[in-house]
């Protein structure tokens, strides 16, 4: 297999998305979402590439990234845990789940663990108001949370960090 620099791979991927939207500005959100989902952040390099492809100023790209809560330029954890803070979840003891998350991970909301595995965030309504409290781990929803369930969810995430997964990650960073 030929070695291709990561930045080149990114460019190729972005090009594909941009072309699907005729290199128009409406491609911006799908491009950003693609970068976000693959790299869990949108680097300045990626923003510049996107700006060049769509022929807009990088500042505009940055503006969009900073506006939407599901996009971020700073590195975040491999698992982004978003706990719903809606009123109906609050009525069902969301605070206790929140405290359990903070204690188990040793971080507060808005922070990322030192090993870069977990980020803890608040989110608005996840639409599971009848079965709250609810949280989102990346794309997966968990409902009817209790402090005990928090432990299971975190363990499930941690279990994907086997030896194999760790090696793969190191291999990608050369």
CA–CA gap between residue 85 and residue 102 (Å, rounded):
15
CA–CA gap between residue 72 and residue 2 (Å, rounded):
31
Q: Could you say whether residue 39 binds another protein (CB under 8 A)?
A: no
Binding marks (x or -) toward another protein, 94..113, rule CB under 8 A? -xx--x--------------
The two three-digit tokens of residue 85, written as one number = 């803070």
Q: Which residues pair with 137 in a beta bridge?
A: 81, 140
Between residue 107 and residue 166, which ones bind another protein under the rule CB under 8 A?
Answer: 123-132, 136, 139-141, 143-144
Residue at token pair 């998350």: 101
Q: Based on CB atoms, which residue is closest to another protein, 86 or 119? A: 86
Please report the DSSP string for 97-146 in residue order: HHHHHHHHHT--TT-B-TTS-EEEEEES--S-GGG-S-EEETTEEE-S--
Q: Could you say whether residue 38 binds another protein (CB under 8 A)?
A: no
Are 73 and 66 within 8 A, CB to CB?
yes
Which span sits near another protein by CB under 8 A: 1-9, 10-18, 62-70, 162-170?
A: 62-70
Q: Could you say whether residue 64 binds another protein (CB under 8 A)?
A: yes
Smallest distance from the beta carbon of 11 to another protein, in angstroms?
Answer: 19
Residues that bind another protein (CB under 8 A): 24-30, 32-33, 54, 60, 63-64, 67-71, 86-88, 90-91, 95-96, 99, 123-132, 136, 139-141, 143-144
């Amino acid at each position: 297999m030929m070695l291709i620099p990561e930045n080149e791979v990114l460019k190729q991927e972005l090009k594909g998305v941009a072309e699907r939207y005729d290199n128009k500005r409406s491609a911006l959100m799908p491009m950003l979402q693609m970068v976000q989902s693959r790299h869990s952040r949108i680097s300045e390099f990626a923003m510049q590439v996107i700006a060049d492809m769509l022929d807009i100023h990088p500042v505009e790209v940055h503006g969009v990234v900073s506006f939407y809560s599901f996009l971020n330029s700073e590195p975040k954890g491999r698992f982004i845990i978003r706990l719903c803070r809606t009123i109906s979840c609050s009525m069902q003891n969301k605070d206790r789940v929140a405290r359990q998350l903070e204690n188990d991970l040793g971080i507060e909301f808005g922070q990322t663990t030192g090993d870069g595995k977990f980020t803890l965030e608040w989110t608005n309504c996840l639409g599971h108001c009848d079965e709250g409290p609810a949280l989102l781990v990346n794309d997966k929803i968990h409902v009817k949370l209790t402090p005990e369930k928090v432990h299971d969810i975190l363990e499930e995430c941690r279990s994907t960090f086997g030896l194999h997964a760790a090696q793969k990650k190191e291999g990608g960073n050369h």
